């Protein structure tokens, strides 16, 4: 708990710049509430979860810093994460505002970008670039396209990650989010089409049903006899063996032997 002021300071300095702290404890909610939230008045993100087996917790406290794509950039003692480190890391994030004055021809594209309407921004920028004869305008259009490209890469990364995890529901959700962000552009249309196709597939429907069944079962499971809990979980696992929820059900079932 001695590290609390350090984390609070990092949160205050960098949360608005895209840095999030997720302080995880598996202790009960009442203890977290009274000893950290109430007693220390922290405003950074705090979570109750058990990540011991997922992250192989090695001594407490320990932290992992993940980039925009979820890749681990650093792990170690939280006191070794300095403000200078975080400053460097958030610099790599896709900017949400255009950070310099651009040619007035691009003003509608810049406005769209600042509102998060990247599809409109992209289409506008391309139109300006195609018509521009002035080298400065061309250079500014290239710059803006570069900023938009970072958002395209980020969306692509999210979609690919969900796809490689075999989670069709998450994949469709990422496609929908990406399509919404890039509405009014070619790539936005492509993603919207892919989402529509995906939702028609059997794999997607199985994924969705498995998730629903598992979430319906989850709150009841602790009150069930171990044998019936295991049976109920195994039923989901057998019905939907190739879905993330089905696999999770199979894992959970092992606990009720």
Residues in contact with other proteins by the rule CB under 8 A: 1, 3, 7, 10, 14, 18-25, 27, 29, 31-33, 35-37, 42-52, 54-58, 60-75, 78, 81, 86, 89-90, 92-94, 154, 158, 161, 170
Q: Which secondary-structure segment (H or E) carries 46? A: strand 45-48
Q: How far is the CB of 66 from other proteins (least distance, A)?
A: 4
The Cα 141–Cα 135 span in angstroms is 10
Considering the complex, state which of residue 86 and residue 141 has its C-beta at the smaller distance from other proteins.
86
Considering the complex, state which of residue 25 and residue 185 has its C-beta at the smaller distance from other proteins.
25
Instruction: Give the residue from 170, 5, 15, 159 showing the smallest Cα distance to 86.
Output: 15
Q: How far is the CB of 224 from other proteins (least distance, A)?
A: 19
Q: How far is the CB of 77 from other proteins (least distance, A)?
A: 10
Longest C-alpha distance within the chain, in Å?
75
Considering the complex, state which of residue 127 and residue 208 has its C-beta at the smaller distance from other proteins.
208
The Cα 192–Cα 172 span in angstroms is 9
Instruction: Give the residue from 39, 49, 43, 35 showing the smallest Cα distance to 8.
Output: 43
Q: Which secondary-structure segment (H or E) carries 48? A: strand 45-48
Considering the complex, state which of residue 29 and residue 136 has its C-beta at the smaller distance from other proteins.
29
Q: How far is the CB of 104 from other proteins (least distance, A)?
A: 30
């Amino acid at each position: 708990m001695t590290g609390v002021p350090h984390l609070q300071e990092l949160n205050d300095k960098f949360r608005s710049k895209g840095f999030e702290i997720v302080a995880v404890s598996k202790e009960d909610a009442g203890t977290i509430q009274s000893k950290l939230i109430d007693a220390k008045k922290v405003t950074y993100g705090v979570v109750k979860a058990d990540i011991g087996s997922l992250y192989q917790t090695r001594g407490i406290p320990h932290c992992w810093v993940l980039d925009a794509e979820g890749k681990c950039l650093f792990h170690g003692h939280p006191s070794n994460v300095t403000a200078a480190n975080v400053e460097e890391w958030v610099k790599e994030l896709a900017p949400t505002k255009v950070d310099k004055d651009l040619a007035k021809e691009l003003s509608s594209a810049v406005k769209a970008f600042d509102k998060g309407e990247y599809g409109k921004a992209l289409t506008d920028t391309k139109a300006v670039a195609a018509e521009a004869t002035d080298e400065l305008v061309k250079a500014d259009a290239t710059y803006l396209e570069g900023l938009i490209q970072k958002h395209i890469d980020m969306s692509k990364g999210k979609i690919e990650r969900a796809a490689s995890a075999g989670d069709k529901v998450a994949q469709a959700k990422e496609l929908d989010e990406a399509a919404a962000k890039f509405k009014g552009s070619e790539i936005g249309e492509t993603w919207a089409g892919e989402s529509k196709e995906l939702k028609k597939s059997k794999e997607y429907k199985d994924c969705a049903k498995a998730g629903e069944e598992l979430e319906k079962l989850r709150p009841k499971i602790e009150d069930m006899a171990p044998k019936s809990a295991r049976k109920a979980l195994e039923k989901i696992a057998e019905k939907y063996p190739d879905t993330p929820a089905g696999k999770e059900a199979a894992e959970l079932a092992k606990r009720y032997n």
